[in-house]
Structure 1
Amino acid sequence: MSLLARREAIVVFLAFAVAYFLSALLRAITATLAPTLAQEFTLQASDLGLLAGGYFLGFSATQLPLGQWLDRHGPRAVLLGFLGVAVAGCLVFSVATGFSGLLAGRVLCGAGVSACLMAPLTGFRRWLDPTAQLRANSWMLMTGSFGMVASTLPVQWLLPVAGWRPLFWALAVLLVLAMGLLAASVPRWPVARLAGSVGSGVPAGYGVVWRHPYFVRLAPLGFFVYGGMVAVQTLWAGPWMQRVAGYTPLEAATGLFWINLSMLGTFWAWGLASPWLLRRFGGADPIMAAGLPLSLLVLAGILLAGEQAGGGAWALYCVSCTFVSLSQPAVALAFPQELAGRALSAFNLVIFGGVFAVQWGIGLAVDAGMALGLETVPAFQAAMAGHLACCAAAYAWFLWRGQRHNVVQTAIP
């Protein structure tokens, strides 16, 4: 398939961006709704944790088959089918009368929006040149940050006016409208051509992806640094601000709002700067190698500052981690077009595995530290120090593998 003209590429990007905005809003909305749901359904903390995890359960369960379907059927057909599941999930959640209904709705929502980033990135691998791919990836992540911002204070303002059930009816309608926009805007996939390519020697399955030297090189960064960034942004920044820095709940919620807003601005800036940076450094790998030590230094500074580190410090940490976002389009470019969907979905599974592991691991480490007699602040510092060590090891692995192997680099023609 030939590259898209500029005007067509913009329309296609906007269609995908609408869907990804809604997926990010759906992912984060339960944090805002948690007090309301806990009161109405008498939910315990463990219930709320499982409800939040239900989204990621549905999301993760689809990643491996999703990659094969994207390579075979293309972004348009796959995303339209998946968004239909998300519509059903919103409706199930909106009419739930108990915890089981809420959980079923969240699992369906997670599964239904699980293609909202992988589908456009797979399409961009065929439809855009390498520079445009990296820019489009940054701006797609920007729309996700915008969705997370929209899930905080705007949802809180709407709750007393509309109630949480009508909010999910509205989300279902918006998802249907997004499906119409995708159907009208996104090109069809050349199925016949892809089938011929596979028959010409492109392996089936994921073995070639897992064993690829470049995938092996980037996987620890995806797991610990990328996954850790999302884990902090979506969970641990809040408890740190309240239990370590002494924020009130409202102050912590405001801090999270500004963290998400800073991420939105950062990804917008990445989209503007990436063409110049790629020309200046010659590829994504040198940019990540030069920039990621900043995130390690910021996290080390947060540990030393302890109670003095608040929302601004965690915003700086999340922003400094965004160098790792270049890894997703870099992975896609390291594989043939016919394997892009599988490569991206496999890497996304690594990232979300990291989100789960870091979220749970930090919690276990905090509890273990307090069980051993540490106060709250030192327990949090010790847990975050463990995360810092894992991120530093992943960065060292990235550098070492780059020297040891002549791997594929993301370069501008």
Structure 2
Amino acid sequence: MLLALATAFALSQAWRTVAAIMATPLAAEFKLSAHSLGLFAGTFHFAFGAMQLFMGIGIDLHGVRRTVLLAFPIAIAGSLLSALASSYSALIWGQVLIGIGCAPAFLVCTVFIARHFPAGRFAAISGITLGLGGTGMLLTGTPLAWLVQVSSWRLGFVLLALLATLSWLLIWWLVHEPEDDNPAMRQPARETLGQALRGFGALFLIPHTWGIVMLASVSYAAFITLRGLWLGPMLIERLDFSLVQSGHVALVMSLASLLGSPLFGWLDPGAGRRRRWILGFSLLVSILFALIAVTQNLLVGILVPVVIGLLSGFIVLQYADVRSAYSSAITGRAMAMLTMAMFLGVAVMQWLTGAIASLAISQNVEPYIAVLASIAALLAVGALGFALLPKPIDKT
């Protein structure tokens, strides 16, 4: 069942990273600025993140299966709308629909793991699931670059819609929650929507929530903003790569991220040392972004993104940290809160870096210096908040 759920997560990973390969042809066809490209890439993540609250409540009230089966067709419709888009506004609406439809894709996996596996195995199983889901990013490396180069970007959206339809059918066929695990089938009376909303809001009254949210809003965003938006244009414009050559680097970076998630899940040091690891790797990734910001070198331009892809696996430790930081009664909502912070963070970072790139160009500054340095700074600020704000008491 978890593997079937992971197929939807893999498709959401593919959709959220298409901009890295499609940015150049989209900019050419619709005459888009760097700011417009940032908005295009960020719209998916804004819709995805904004819906986490409702998806978390939906899972609590109606179960994993019903929630994902109702939502995912919206993503398929959005992908088809994008393929047929004749204007920039239609592209944006397509991204909104894809983001809404994909909103429960990873959340259902984390809730399923939290309900069906021991707490001590949460990081390891989540790492494997992140790795499996990350295979979707392989589609938006060399394969998508080749498809776009020999045909068009529109066919890429059509292909993702077809694959998503197969994923929906697989989930419908294989995922069936036991009665005890499906809130929609439980007696006594279910929680009302108002009670659920108040329960979600109460998370933000807990002091240690804010440090978790500060880092969550920039950690995944840094990786996805590079892999999902700026990697292709940076390699093409800085190092004179072709679209397919930049796709090769994106593919290797994605492969590294697939290894990173299960690796960090396996290496999880436990609640006592986990937060120090999270802080340390956040700062290390910040330094690597600063390095590629100021170094326009072929070796650095290829190797450092791959290393960032590998180190992005430390994000699985953030999910394990949340699993330990809140009581089991609110695990689903705590996971939804973390996922919401991560993907709203991606939306803001992609929009912000698009604005920064446009400003840099207007001031005759190399845009990738400004973009990558700003990501490094945001990571450092998030790590500082995580380190200095109140820490949780282990609830494992």
Do Structure 1 and Structure 2 share a fold, with TM-score over 0.5? yes
Could you tell me which amino acid in structure 1 is paired with residue 65 of structure 2? Answer: R
* Identity percentage of aligned residues: 24
Q: Distance in 1 between matches of 2:240 and 2:156?
A: 32
Task: Give 1:195 deviation, angstroms.
Answer: 5.9
Q: Distance in 2 between matches of 1:351 and 1:164?
A: 27
Could you tell me which amino acid in structure 2 is paired with residue 353 of structure 1? Answer: L
Q: Distance in 2 between matches of 1:165 and 1:20?
A: 22
Task: Give 1:215 deviation, angstroms.
Answer: 1.9
Identify which of 375, 383, 394 aligns with 2:382: 394
8 Å CA contact 1:198, 1:338 repeated in 2: no
Q: Distance in 2 between matches of 1:49 and 1:325?
A: 26
Match of 1:262 in 2: 256
Q: 1:303 to 1:87 in 2, by over 3 A?
A: closer
Task: Give 1:112 deviation, angstroms.
Answer: 0.8
Q: Does 1:125 align with 2:114?
A: yes
8 Å CA contact 1:283, 1:409 repeated in 2: no
Q: How many residues align?
A: 387
Task: Give 1:310 deviation, angstroms.
Answer: 0.5
1:3-60 per-residue CA deviation (whole Å, 9 max, x = no partner) reads: xxxxxxxxx2211111111222233335445566667xx4121565554444334323
Identify which of 345, 351, 356 aligns with 2:336: 345
Using the size of structure 1 for normalisation, the TM-score is 0.80
Gaps of 5+ in 2: none
* Alignment map for 1:19-38 (pairs within 5 Å): 19-29=8-18, 31-33=20-22
1:383-405 per-residue CA deviation (whole Å, 9 max, x = no partner) reads: 5334333322322222223xx54
Larger relative contact order (Cα-Cα within 8 Å, sequence gap ≥ 6): 2
8 Å CA contact 2:142, 2:244 repeated in 1: no
* Alignment map for 1:194-343 (pairs within 5 Å): 204-245=198-239, 247-271=241-265, 273-274=266-267, 277-278=268-269, 282=272, 284-303=274-293, 305-307=295-297, 309-343=300-334
* Alignment map for 1:88-167 (pairs within 5 Å): 88-96=77-85, 101-158=90-147
Identify which of 181, 185, 194 aligns with 2:170: 181
Q: Distance in 1 between matches of 2:117 and 2:249?
A: 37
Q: Distance in 1 between matches of 2:323 and 2:97?
A: 27
Q: Distance in 2 between matches of 1:37 and 1:243?
A: 16
Question: Quick check: which has more Rg, 1 or 2?
Answer: 1
8 Å CA contact 2:56, 2:332 repeated in 1: yes
Question: What SS does structure 2 have at the residue aligned with 1:278?
Answer: coil
1:261-281 per-residue CA deviation (whole Å, 9 max, x = no partner) reads: 21122223234x24xx335x7
Question: What SS does structure 2 have at the residue aligned with 1:155?
Answer: helix
1:110-168 per-residue CA deviation (whole Å, 9 max, x = no partner) reads: 21111100111122221111233212221222123211111232234446888766665
Identify which of 346, 352, 366 aligns with 1:355: 346
Q: Distance in 1 between matches of 2:102 and 2:328?
A: 23
Q: Distance in 2 between matches of 1:194 and 1:343?
A: 24
Q: Distance in 2 between matches of 1:165 and 1:187?
A: 37
Q: Distance in 2 between matches of 1:362 and 1:50?
A: 9
Match of 2:30 in 1: 43
Could you tell me which amino acid in structure 2 is paired with residue 204 of structure 1? Answer: R
Q: 1:303 to 1:210 in 2, by over 3 A?
A: same
Q: 1:410 to 1:306 in 2, by over 3 A?
A: farther
Q: Does 1:190 align with 2:183?
A: yes
Q: Distance in 2 between matches of 1:383 and 1:54?
A: 18
Superposition CA RMSD, Å: 3.4
Q: 1:103 to 1:356 in 2, by over 3 A?
A: closer
8 Å CA contact 1:221, 1:324 repeated in 2: no
1:154-187 per-residue CA deviation (whole Å, 9 max, x = no partner) reads: 2344468887666655544433332333233341
Q: 1:121 to 1:360 in 2, by over 3 A?
A: same
Q: Distance in 2 between matches of 1:392 and 1:139?
A: 27
Could you tell me which amino acid in structure 1 is paired with residue 249 of structure 2? Answer: G
Q: 1:169 to 1:250 in 2, by over 3 A?
A: closer
1:213-232 per-residue CA deviation (whole Å, 9 max, x = no partner) reads: 33212111111222222212
Larger deviation: 13-22 or 307-316?
A: 307-316
Task: Give 1:67 deviation, angstroms.
Answer: 1.8
Q: 1:158 to 1:233 in 2, by over 3 A?
A: closer
Larger deviation: 141-150 or 334-343?
A: 334-343
Question: What SS does structure 1 have at the residue aligned with 2:212?
Answer: helix
